[in-house]
Amino acid sequence: MTAGKTGKAPGKKTIILISAAAAVLVLGGVFFALSRGAARTLAANAASTQTVALKKTKVEKSISVSGVVKSGASENIYSTLSQPVKEIYVEAGDAVETGDLLAQLDVYGLENDIAQAKVNQTNAANVAAEENRARENTIADAQNKLDSARLSLERQQLALSKAEQDFADAEKDAAAPYDSYKNDQLIDDAKTALSRKSADYDEAFAQLAQTLIGFDDRVYQNKITDAVTAFGRRQTELAQAEQDYSDAAGAEYPSEKERDAAVAAAKKKVDAAKTALNDARQTQERARADLTRAKTEAVNAENDQLDAAKKAKDDAQRAYDKALEDKAKAEQDAQDSAAKKLAAAKNTLADSKKQLELARNSLESAQNALRQAKAKPKNQGSSEQLQALNLEKLQEQWRRGQILATADGIVTEVNCKVGATPTGISFVIEDADSLYVSAKVKEYDLASLRLEQGATVTTEATGSEKFSAALTYISPKAVSEAGSTSVEFEIQAKLAQLDKAVKIGMNAFINMVTETAEDVYSVPLSAVVTNEKGSFVYAAQAAPAKGRLAKGAAQPTEIPVTLGLQTSAAVVISGDGLRDGMEILTDPEQKLSQGGQSRGMFPMGGRG
């Protein structure tokens, strides 16, 4: 049910499409700018190509989540007596065994009763001698009961009159209408709040759309332009320094010493120009990264505000719906309460009539009992057996005054206090020899997990020390809220080894290897180039002869490969052209473009 100015808010799918379109435009612009800048950069930087040597290795793909250490077994201990606690013998963290005394209730009165019962049992033999006197007491008691029965009859007559009046009042209350004034006020307040939160949500959505469409990037574009210009100047300076160096090396000098000095000075200028060129390149890259980061942060900030406004609107809607439900429930409760009171009054009236009849019967029984008591002859009875039963009952109550441990383990909760009567759970004992870590995993990781899967556990308290564990539980149902965009499931990993440093309630981390590749070649993701013909890596050629500067580097060798297991930083490759020790270019597109043979190839994860 909705009310107020709700309108039809744009759905999450619409927001995602707008965000995706904006992201495509942004990335497209950045890619175009990077491509033009990279072409100029790589043409003048052939000597900086990086490689990695192929070597057979092991590659692992894993899932890591955080969780909490819990006990595999927990025992709740209660008290069955309503006596105050006299003394507590344990505290949280103590180790106990089954049967250990945890606390003592104040049963001083029971101890006195037990002592008295023992005396009564000892004197039971003397009771028989007093039974004749007991007969006289029985007659007196029967007379008292007769008097009590007469009084009870009078009371039941009064109770019947009251029950009749209560029934009449209950009928009147059941017919009265329900006063809904307070509920109506709460509904109006919730309706106003819902209208306000809906307006806040619409405003947050409009602000997000404005940020996606009209982000002002002039300052960042100016910085990028300045960085590109500075980079061009540094290229020119490097080219001039290299020419000076070449001229110095080929010129004639009066002496070998002067020639060496001139060549060294020219070499120093070349090194300085290269350093300046590298600094200019980094400045240019930072300027472009700043633009991308600024756009991302602006969109993220607006998205956060939109999410907060959506949550506030949903909360207001739920509050309004609840106010309506509360009113309906209050009306129904009032009707139910009046009906229950009426039914109770009716039952009480019927019961009073029955009690009056019972009181009359009790009076007649008391009269008969008095006659029988007077007619009963004297005899020698014994109360010894009765006293024995009473003593056993008191001793059992005294034993229940001791709260004992019902399992071995660690006391983790003490919920009672000295002088107070225990209610609910008094102690909690948990098994410290059976620990597991409870954590949550994302929906898309479930397919990679299985029961009994091996894992390692670390905690903040134990640092880098790893503990073996096994996955023993995967929740069959999501533990996240219904409709959540981030669906999570609970998992449990039982520790295979125990350590005193690992405590119940600690924060812990579970790492599970989900896929492994043994004795394989792997390279960085950037080393793989993919186009319409397939995937390739490029092996570097031998370096040119020493003694003279190289005017051009030989082109690398293209090797077709098949891709295998991929992690966030590397990918497994295989192919007939691969061998141990082969130097593979980590940025092959750069090397190929230096040689003028970039043929629409893109590193893995790019456009190809």
- Phi-psi region at 483: left, alpha or beta (left = phi > 0; alpha = psi -120 to 50): left
Rounded distance between C-alpha atoms, residue 458 and residue 465, angstroms: 6
pLDDT tens-digit readout, 528-547: 999 999 999 999 875 443 33
Question: What CATH class is the domain 75-107+401-431?
Answer: mainly beta
What CATH topology corresponds to 432-514?
A: Elongation Factor Tu (Ef-tu); domain 3 (2.40.30)
For residue 608, the model assigns a pLDDT of 37
What percentage of the chain exceeds 90 in pLDDT?
Answer: 19
**Which ranges in the chain are annotated with CATH 2.40.30.170?**
432-514
pLDDT tens-digit readout, 18-76: 333 333 333 333 233 333 333 333 333 434 559 999 999 999 888 889 999 988 787 89
For residue 554, the model assigns a pLDDT of 64
What percentage of the chain exceeds 70 in pLDDT?
Answer: 84
For residue 2, the model assigns a pLDDT of 38
Rounded distance between C-alpha atoms, residue 479 and residue 493, angstroms: 17
For residue 500, the model assigns a pLDDT of 79
Q: Residue 362: how many CB atoms within 10 A of its CB?
A: 20
Rounded distance between C-alpha atoms, residue 307 and residue 205, angstroms: 9
Q: Which helix (H) or strand (E) holds 56?
A: none
HSE toward the beta carbon, residue 417, CA cutoff 13 A: 2
Residue 30: both structure tokens together:
């950045």
* Reported confidence tier of residue 558, pLDDT bands at 50, 70, 90: very high
* Mean of all residue pLDDT scores within the chain: 80
Q: Residue 382 pLDDT > 70, yes or no? A: no
Q: Which of 415, 441, 435, 377 is nearest to 132 (CA)?
A: 377
Report the first-to-last Cα separation within the chain, whole angstroms.
Answer: 50
Rounded distance between C-alpha atoms, residue 501 and residue 499, angstroms: 5
Rounded distance between C-alpha atoms, residue 501 and residue 478, angstroms: 32
pLDDT tens-digit readout, 187-207: 888 889 888 888 888 888 887
Average pLDDT for 521-525: 94
For residue 592, the model assigns a pLDDT of 66
**Contact of 528 with 604, CB cutoff 8 Å:** yes
**Which ranges in the chain are annotated with CATH 2.40.50.100?**
75-107+401-431
**Contact of 601 with 527, CB cutoff 8 Å:** no
**Which CATH number, 3.40.50.720, 2.40.420.20, 2.60.120.380, 3.60.15.10, labels domain 50-60+519-603?**
2.40.420.20
Residue type, 537: V
For residue 398, the model assigns a pLDDT of 72
